[in-house]
Amino acid sequence: MTEQVETSATTRTDGINLSPVAAAKVKSLLEQEGRDDLQLRIAVQPGGCSGLRYQLFFDERTLDGDQVTDFDGVAVVVDRMSVPYLNGATIDFADTIDKQGFTIDNPNATGSCACGDSFH
Q: How many CB atoms lie within 10 A of CB 41?
A: 22
Cite the DSSP H helix spans in 18-109.
20-33, 83-86
Judge whether residue 63 has pLDDT over 60: yes
Which pLDDT score is estimated for 118?
A: 46
How much of the chain, in percent, has pLDDT values that exceed 90?
Answer: 45
pLDDT band at 48 (very low <50, low <70, confident <90, very high): low
Give the model confidence (pLDDT) of 72-85 as tens digits. 899 999 999 999 98
Which pLDDT score is estimated for 120?
A: 40
What's the whole-model pTM score?
A: 0.77
Taking only Cα atoms into account, the Rg of the chain, rounded to an integer number of angstroms, comes to 14
Q: Determine the Cα–Cα distance for residues 41 and 32; give it in Å rounded to an integer.
A: 18
Q: Is 89 helix (H, G, I), strand (E, B) or coil?
A: coil
Cite the DSSP H helix spans in the chain.
20-33, 83-86
Please choose, from the candidates 58, 62, 39, 52, the residue with its C-alpha nearest in 3D space to the C-alpha of residue 85: 52
Judge whether residue 71 has pLDDT over 70: yes
Cβ atoms of 77 and 67 closer than 8 Å: yes
Which pLDDT score is estimated for 32?
A: 92
Q: Determine the Cα–Cα distance for residues 53 and 65; give it in Å rounded to an integer.
A: 21
33: phi then psi, degrees, rounded to nearest 5 = -75, -25
